[in-house]
Chain A
Amino acid sequence: MSHLLTAIVVLPLAGFLLNGLAGNRLGTRFVSAIGCGLPIVAFFVTVKCFLDLQAGSGAPLVDIVYTWAVIGGSSFEVSFYFDRLSAVMVLIVTGVGSLIHVYSIGYMKGDASYARYFSYLNLFLVFMLLLVLGRSLLVLFVGWEGVGLASYLLIGFWFEDPDKARAGKKAFIANRIGDAGFLLGMFLLYTALGTLDMDRINAAFTAAPLPAVSASAVGILLFIGAAGKSAQIPLYVWLPDAMAGPTPVSALIHAATMVTAGVYLIARMSGIYLHAPEASAVIAAIGALTAFFAATIAVAQTDIKKVLAYSTISQLGFMFVALGVGAYSVAIFHLYTHAFFKACLFLGAGSVIHALGGEQDIRKMGGLARRIPVTFATFAVATAAIAGIPPLAGFFSKDEILWFAFASSRGGSPLLFAVAATTALLTAFYMFRLLWLTFFGRSRMTPETEHHVHESPASMASVLIVLAILSAIGGFLALPDFLSSLLPLPGVVPELEHLETPLVIVSIALAFGGLAAAAYLFAGNGDRAERLRRRFPTLHRVLCGKYYVDEAYDWLIARPLYWISDRVFLRLGDQKLFDGSLHGLASLGRRAAGGLSRVQNGNLHLYALLVLAGIIASLAWSWGRG
C-alpha cells in the first residue's frame, strides 16, 4: 500500500485551491510557481511510483483512500489503482501536463485572469488523474465528469465573448449525451456483477462462467460515453468549437489528455470487449468513419486550430479502429505518441498565433519559417511525426494500427485497412498543407502584423523543443510490448502474416505521397490548389461547411426540441395547465368573495333576516333527521 498515489492527485488539488482562493492577491510569480511547480512535483512522484511498480513483481499498486459508502452488502471505496496501463496514462498526463503548464506562463502572460487560468488547469489535472488512477468505475466517473467541467470552464475561459461561452456549453451538453450511455453501462454492470472495480470486472469476464449480462450491450453503452468524451461520430461536434479556449488548453485537454479518456476507458475495460465482437465491430466502424470524415474536413479548413482539431478527431478515430480490432495496447501506443506530437503542434500553433498577435487564418500567414525558426522547426518535426514519416513517433504507432486493421483476427479487414490507409494519406496531405501555408511561400500578412512577428519567449520555445524531441524519439519505446501482460495483442490471420513488410512500405509511401501532393499543390503561390478548387466547387463548399453536420443537428434535433419546449411544455403545459389552473382557483375565490361581500351591506335587518333563515333551515334539517 502506497499513499504516494494519493499524493499525485492531491498536489494539483492543492494548486487549484491555493491559486483559486489566494492567487489574485499573491501576484503572478507566486501563481506560476504554484501552478507549474505542483504538477511537476506530481510528475516526479509518478516517476517514483512507476519505479516502485517496476521494482515489484508486477503487481499493481493499490491505495485505498477511504470507504465512500456502504450500502447493504456492497461498499464503494475511493481507491487508486496503478498498473502499467495507468502508469502510462499518468505519466502522459503529468508529464505533458507539466510542460503545457510551463508553456502557459509565457502564453497567458498579462491576461487579467492569470490565477484563474492556472487554478482551472490544475483542477483539470486533479480530475484527469482521478480518471486514470481510479480503481472503481465510480471514481473514474467522478474524474470523467470533472474533466468535462474543467474543459467547460477553460473553453469558456474568455466568457465575455458569447461565442466562446456558447462553445463551452456545447461541449458540456454533447458530453452529457455520452455520459448517459456511460451511466447506463455502469448500472448494467453493477446489477450483473455487484461491483464497479474495474480489475474485478475484467476478472469476472475472463473467468469461466461468463457473467449473466450481454457484454455487447455493456460495451456499446460504455462506448457511447467514450464517443462523447473522445469526439467520435455522432458526438464529435463539440471538439472543433472547443478551440475557442486558450491554445495551451486545446493542447492539453482537447488533444493530448482529456479526449483520450474514452480510449483509456475502452482499453481498461478490454475484458468486456474481448467478449463483445459486435460492440468491437461497431467501435472499429465508427472509428474508421470518424477518422475519414474528420480528415476530409481538415483538408479544407482555413483556421490553424480548426485543422488541428479535426486532425485530433481523425487521430482519435485511428485509436478507436485499433480498439475495435482488439489491439488495445496499440491504441494506447498511438495515444501516447499522439500526446507528444499533437501537443507540440497545438503549442506551435499557439506560438504562431502569439507571434502574429492573434491571427488564426492560415490564408493570412505564409513565409514564417525564417521569422520564427524554433517554432517552425518543432512544428515541422511534429507534422512529420503525425504524417507518419519514419523514424518519427507517429510512424510506428500508425503503422501498427494499419497493420492490425488489416490483419487482426479480431475483426481486421481489407475494407477497414483501405479506409484507414486513405485517412493516413489525407492526414499527411492536410498536415503538410498546413505547414506549407503557414511557414512557406510568400507572406500574405498585413504589413502591420508582419511588423509584429517575433519568436516566442524561452519558456514557450523550450517546451516546444522538448515536445519535438519526444515526438521524434517517442516511437522507439515499444509500448505494446510493455503492456503485453495486461493487454495482449490480438492474433494475426496466418495467411496475411507475410504481408507485414509490404504494408510498412505502403504506409511509408502513404506518408510521402501526402507530402508530395501537398508540396505539388501548394508550392509556389498555390495556383494548382486554386485550380483544383475551381474544378470541384461543390465538394469544396461541402468540406468548408464541415458537411453541414452542425446545421443538420440544428434542424433535426435542436429545433424540434426547441419547438416542443416552447409550444408544448412552456405554452401548453406551464402557461395553460399549471398557471391556468392556479389562476382559475384564485379567481374563483375572488369572485365568490365578491358575491358574498354584497350581503354585508350594513343593514341590520337583513342580517337578522338571514339569521332567522338560518335558524329555520337548521331546524328544518334537524326535523328531517328526526
Chain B
Amino acid sequence: MLIATSAALFALGLLGVIVRRNVLVMLMCMELMLNGVSLSLVTFAQQTASAAGAVLVFLIFVVAAAEIAIAIPIVLLLVRRKNVLDLDAYTDLKG
C-alpha cells in the first residue's frame, strides 16, 4: 500500500515535470518525486528492519534543501530577465 502510494507520488511528480510549463510548479513536482522516493525508502527500511534506508532519507532531505536553495535563486534571476515563469520562453538558453 505504501509502496503504491510512493510510486503514485513519483509518477505524479514526473508527469508534472513533463507536462507543466511553470517553472515553480515544475520545481514543486520534482520535490514530489523526491518525496515519493523517500517514502519508498522509509517503507523498505521498515520492512527489512535496517537503518540504512532511513539514513538515506536524511541524505535526500539535505540534498533537496541544497538543491532548492540553488534552484530558487536561478528562477528568480530568470524571472528578472524576462518577467515570465513559462519555461518555453527560455529555450534560447540552449548551449
Residues of A within 8 A of B93 (CB): 602
A605 beta carbon closer than 8 Å to chain B: yes
A605 in contact with B95 (CB, 8 Å):
no
A609 in contact with B91 (CB, 8 Å):
no
B88 in contact with A609 (CB, 8 Å):
no
B30's nearest neighbour on chain A, judged by CB, is A608
Measured between alpha carbons, how far is A92 from B92 in the docked complex, in Å? Answer: 89
A192 beta carbon closer than 8 Å to chain B: no
Choose from A600, A601, A602, A608 the contact partner of B18 (Cβ within 8 Å): A608
Q: Mostly helix, strand, loop or mixed at chain B's interface?
A: helix
Measured between alpha carbons, how far is A603 from B26 in the docked complex, in Å? Answer: 13
A603 in contact with B91 (CB, 8 Å):
yes
Measured between alpha carbons, how far is A612 from B18 in the docked complex, in Å? Answer: 9
A604 beta carbon closer than 8 Å to chain B: yes
Choose from B14, B17, B21, B90 the contact partner of A602 (Cβ within 8 Å): B90
Residues of B within 8 A of A604 (CB): 26, 87
B34 → A minimal CB distance (Å): 15
List CB contacts (< 8 Å) of A581-618 with chain B.
600-605, 608-609, 612
B92's nearest neighbour on chain A, judged by CB, is A602
Choose from B17, B88, B92 the contact partner of A608 (Cβ within 8 Å): B17
B14 in contact with A612 (CB, 8 Å):
yes
B78 → A minimal CB distance (Å): 12
Measured between alpha carbons, how far is A600 from B91 in the docked complex, in Å? Answer: 10
Residues of A within 8 A of B19 (CB): 605
Choose from A602, A605, A612 the contact partner of B94 (Cβ within 8 Å): A602
> Per-residue CB proximity of B1-35 to A under 8 Å, as 1/0?
00000000000001001110100001000000000
B94 in contact with A601 (CB, 8 Å):
yes
A55 → B minimal CB distance (Å): 93
Measured between alpha carbons, how far is A164 from B84 in the docked complex, in Å? Answer: 82
A608 → B minimal CB distance (Å): 5
List CB contacts (< 8 Å) of B47-95 with chain A.
87-88, 90-95
The tally of residues in B whose CB lies under 8 Å from a CB in A reads: 14
A606's nearest neighbour on chain B, judged by CB, is B18
Measured between alpha carbons, how far is A457 from B90 in the docked complex, in Å? Answer: 95
Measured between alpha carbons, how far is A600 from B92 in the docked complex, in Å? Answer: 11
B91 in contact with A605 (CB, 8 Å):
no
B13 → A minimal CB distance (Å): 11
A609 → B minimal CB distance (Å): 5
Residue among B14, B18, B95 with most chain A CB within 10 A: B18
Task: Assess A600 versus B95: contact at CB under 8 Å? Given A605-B18, A608-B18.
Answer: yes
Residues of B within 8 A of A605 (CB): 17-19, 21, 87
Measured between alpha carbons, how far is A607 from B95 in the docked complex, in Å? Answer: 13
Residues of A within 8 A of B18 (CB): 605, 608-609, 612
Measured between alpha carbons, how far is A608 from B16 in the docked complex, in Å? Answer: 11
Measured between alpha carbons, how far is A140 from B26 in the docked complex, in Å? Answer: 88
Measured between alpha carbons, how far is A603 from B21 in the docked complex, in Å? Answer: 10
Residues of B within 8 A of A602 (CB): 90-94
Choose from B17, B87, B88, B94 the contact partner of A600 (Cβ within 8 Å): B94
Measured between alpha carbons, how far is A603 from B91 in the docked complex, in Å? Answer: 5
A129 → B minimal CB distance (Å): 73
B71 → A minimal CB distance (Å): 12
Measured between alpha carbons, how far is A81 from B55 in the docked complex, in Å? Answer: 94
A613 → B minimal CB distance (Å): 11
B30 → A minimal CB distance (Å): 10
A604 → B minimal CB distance (Å): 5
Measured between alpha carbons, how far is A604 from B17 in the docked complex, in Å? Answer: 9
Residues of A within 8 A of B92 (CB): 602
B88 in contact with A603 (CB, 8 Å):
yes
Measured between alpha carbons, how far is A318 from B37 in the docked complex, in Å? Answer: 104
Residues in chain B within 8 A of chain A (CB atoms): 14, 17-19, 21, 26, 87-88, 90-95
Pull 22 A–B residue pairs with CB atoms less than 8 Å apart, ordered by A.
Answer: A600-B94, A600-B95, A601-B91, A602-B90, A602-B91, A602-B92, A602-B93, A602-B94, A603-B87, A603-B88, A604-B26, A604-B87, A605-B17, A605-B18, A605-B19, A605-B21, A605-B87, A608-B14, A608-B17, A608-B18, A612-B14, A612-B18
Residues in chain A within 8 A of chain B (CB atoms): 600-605, 608-609, 612
13 more contacts with CB within 8 A, not counting A602-B94, A604-B87, are A601-B91, A602-B90, A602-B91, A602-B92, A603-B91, A604-B26, A605-B17, A605-B18, A605-B19, A605-B21, A608-B14, A612-B14, A612-B18
Nearest 3 CB-CB pairings of A with B: A602-B94, A602-B91, A608-B18
